[in-house]
């Protein structure tokens, strides 16, 4: 384990996803999935998200577009909730999903938008 990359990854992960989310994920971690959790923390959060090459708003939009375009819908609600911390607005997210519609297909964008609408409604109701 790269302790510096892991530490910076946890810092960025907490700033983007929030302490409550990271604490829940940490509490659910087992010996079996710990290697994957370490890889995600070091690679995704400690390398990609920690880079200052682009800002968190743009990373957020890219992540949502890529998740939708590749059909990886399970993480879309988590990353929609993260927009409260990254600065990506609803309009920004819609623009990302419009790109998905053109370049990856309307059904994928449509499903991503459905998930985003549900998640925004939960956020506004305070149930997330």
pLDDT per residue as tens digits for the range 10-43: 999 999 999 999 999 999 999 999 999 999 999 9
pLDDT per residue as tens digits for the range 49-99: 999 999 999 999 999 999 999 999 999 999 999 999 999 999 999 999 999
Element (DSSP H or E) covering residue 121: helix 106-125
**In order of start, what are the domains of the chain with their CATH numbers?**
1-53 (no CATH), 54-128 (1.20.1290.10)
Confidence of residue 128 (pLDDT cuts 50, 70, 90): confident
């Amino acid at each position: 384990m790269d302790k510096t990359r892991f530490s910076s990854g946890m810092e960025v992960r907490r700033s983007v996803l929030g302490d409550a989310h990271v604490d829940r994920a940490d509490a659910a971690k087992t010996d079996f999935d710990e290697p994957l959790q370490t890889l995600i923390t070091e690679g995704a959060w400690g390398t990609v998200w920690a880079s200052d090459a682009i800002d968190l708003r743009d990373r957020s939009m890219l992540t949502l577009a890529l998740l939708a375009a590749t059909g990886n819908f399970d993480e879309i609600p988590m990353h929609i909730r993260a927009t409260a911390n990254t600065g990506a607005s609803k309009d920004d997210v819609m623009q990302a999903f419009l790109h998905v519609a053109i370049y990856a297909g309307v059904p994928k964008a449509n499903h991503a938008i459905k998930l985003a609408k549900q998640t925004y409604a939960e956020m506004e109701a305070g149930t997330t």
